[in-house]
Amino acid sequence: MMKNSMTTIACTLAAAAAAVSVAAVAGCEQTPCTVTENEDGSSTITCPDGSTATIAGGAAGAAGAAGADGADGADGADGADGTDGVDGVDGVDGGELLACGGEFFEVDQLGLLAGCEEIVGGAVILIDETSDVSALGSLQRVHGSLTIVVITDDPTFALTFPALTSIDEEFVVVTDEEPIARLSLPTLTAVARDFSTFGIAAVEAPSLLGVSVIELSQVNEVTLSSLRRANDLEISSDGALELELSATAQVNFVRITAPDASGCLIPALPSIVAACEQDSCELDLLSNEGASCDNCPDIVNNDQSDIDRDGDGDVCDGDIDGDTVINADDLQPTISTVCRDSDSDGCDDCANGAPNPADDGADTDGDGVCDDSVPEACTLRGSALVCGVSTAAGSAALCASLGLTLPVFHNDGDQQALVDDIGNIEYWIGLNDTAVEGTFVWADGTTFDFETESNFNDGEPNNSNNEDCVEAFGNNRWNDLQCGDTRGTVCPLSPSFNGRTDNCVDDDNADQADGDDDGVGNVCDNCVDVANADQADDDVDGVGNACEV
């Protein structure tokens, strides 16, 4: 959390740039900060309010000297004062080295970052309308803190980091007296410490999963749709506030200040309720004082999960998925298209969202065996079925009902191949330590090798609040999680899985006889005595390759 005011920060940063007037930054007026050069090459900045900051200069200068060896070596000569050191590092490999050193970049120096994928040592960057912001397009990672000061009176100004994924320390964006329109961070997934903005109308970080502190001031639109963890969340708006936050975020402290927010915000923000059921929470919903928004007031339910959106939290809802079959009688109480198969035709009675055995799936050949056993809740994506969200046990049971298991990975290639098919979603994998804490086992019974197979995030698994199950993200990283939380259900297909109940969908065969047990019924099998699930027949003579003489 930023302890100093944004005004003080802006003043301090502006004073470090010789070509930028201190008076151009909000709050500094005409009283300049003083800059003292130290023997080690660093500079100490002292502002009128007594705040100080030190900016190192020697390290960047050394990097600049290295530029003599590369295509950009001409700029490396500036390394003596640390200003153009970043370009000098680029020069080592003829301009092809992707990691760049960084300290301070004035408004006309963004070109020095063109092509850089990583900034080593963090950076402070001044930006105005003349700055070449396209130079930030390759930046993926910052090793240290990144501070952006935007000096403009253009309210439509927008700033985008299209490839930035992680920042090792703090990320701060401040403006001068005039706010700007938008800060877009479409690929950012992690900020190790604070994420703070001041004077930006819309802040978008839809991929952000974890951060220590989020502090957004003077903002009207916030998109944090993938947020999973934040110690503190503080958002303040001078007017109407639009919020898009994850329904399963874990937040310890929340303060929302939005005088024009309409209606009760909590149902749309279950993560805030999670925080507000803890003693440390402050919730300043100025237009909603006294509103009761707990969807299960008599039972603690921090996540406020409500799968069927009927206003009753799942923990106190007798029919969680809204398919009219009570939970006790429902094979999958969290999936509306799965409940039971009362007529034993192989298709679930709730295939269309409500129990109706007479309308539970297509039966092309009219033999009383329905064509497809894959629940309506599932979609086929390449090598796997993706079947909505459920608890870890619910997801495992659904996969098991199809003769499948949750994903099991013994190498990175297996996991990447699955992600290529299913896309960037969060889902349960078949790994848990429910039997013995700290001893993880795979769902198919194979041994888990922590040294060679683990893709846990740094600091994970940590068993916080008894986390015994494991989720995976689209970036192939893992996190241990409480088994009762809800995540996506993914069932990788086995070689024998063909997705059908009727083993001859076009031919009447109520007995479903299958002599070679290859999943293809005898009446339509082109090689009845030899298993050939693929039914390959290269010469199209009606006799499968497997038994062709």
pLDDT digits (tens, 9 = 90+) for 24-50: 222 323 234 455 667 765 556 555 556
Q: For 345-404, how does the pLDDT look when each residue is reduced to its tens digit (9 = 90+)? A: 667 788 777 888 877 776 777 776 676 656 666 777 877 888 888 899 889 988 887 778
Confidence at 258, pLDDT banded by 50, 70, 90: low
List the one residue out of 474, 526, 530, 478 whose CA is nearest residue 504.
526
Q: What does the pLDDT average to over 190-216?
A: 90
Contact assessment for residue 394 and residue 334, using Cβ atoms and an 8 Å cutoff: yes
Confidence at 184, pLDDT banded by 50, 70, 90: very high
For residue 51, the model assigns a pLDDT of 54
For residue 79, the model assigns a pLDDT of 39
Hey, which of 7-11, 306-310, 330-334, 488-492 has the most confident mean pLDDT? Answer: 488-492
Average pLDDT, the chain: 73
For residue 302, the model assigns a pLDDT of 56
Residue type, 295: N
Cα-to-chain-centroid distance, residue 330 = 31
Q: What percent of the chain has pLDDT over 70?
A: 69
Q: Is the pLDDT of residue 472 over 90?
A: yes
For residue 440, the model assigns a pLDDT of 92
Minimum mean pLDDT among 29-38, 136-145, 230-239: which range? Answer: 29-38
For residue 25, the model assigns a pLDDT of 27
Residue type, 66: A
The tokens for 139 are 């930046």
List the one residue out of 506, 505, 503, 507 whose CA is nearest residue 517.
503
The residues, ordered by sequence, that sit 6+ positions from 535 with a Cβ below 8 Å of its Cβ are: 520, 525, 526, 527, 544
Indicate the DSSP class of residue 172.
E
| 293 vs 270: CA distance, rounded Å | 10
Confidence at 495, pLDDT banded by 50, 70, 90: low
For residue 37, the model assigns a pLDDT of 66
The residues, ordered by sequence, that sit 6+ positions from 446 with a Cβ below 8 Å of its Cβ are: 408, 410
The pTM score is 0.39
For residue 428, the model assigns a pLDDT of 96
For residue 83, the model assigns a pLDDT of 36
Q: Is the pLDDT of residue 502 over 50?
A: yes
For residue 266, the model assigns a pLDDT of 38
The per-residue b/e assignment along 223-246, b for 16 or more CB within 10 angstroms, e otherwise, is: bbebbbbbbbbbbbbeeebebebb
Confidence at 21, pLDDT banded by 50, 70, 90: very low
Dihedral Cα 102, 104, 106, 111, nearest 10 deg: 0
For residue 90, the model assigns a pLDDT of 34
List the one residue out of 182, 185, 218 whose CA is nearest residue 202.
182
Q: Sign of the CA dihedral 211, 213, 219, 225?
A: positive
Of residues 246 and 10, more confidently modeled: 246
For residue 514, the model assigns a pLDDT of 84
Q: For 292-351, how does the pLDDT look when each residue is reduced to its tens digit (9 = 90+)? A: 455 776 776 655 677 887 878 888 999 998 999 999 898 878 878 778 878 766 677 887
Q: For 398-435, how does the pLDDT look when each residue is reduced to its tens digit (9 = 90+)? A: 888 777 899 999 888 889 989 988 888 899 999 999 88
Of residues 68 and 492, more confidently modeled: 492
For residue 493, the model assigns a pLDDT of 79
The per-residue b/e assignment along 360-380, b for 16 or more CB within 10 angstroms, e otherwise, is: bbebebebebbbbbbbbbbee
Q: Sign of the CA dihedral 71, 75, 76, 82?
A: negative
For residue 162, the model assigns a pLDDT of 94
Beta bridge partners of 507: none
Q: For 93-120, how does the pLDDT look when each residue is reduced to its tens digit (9 = 90+)? A: 323 337 787 788 888 888 888 888 889 8
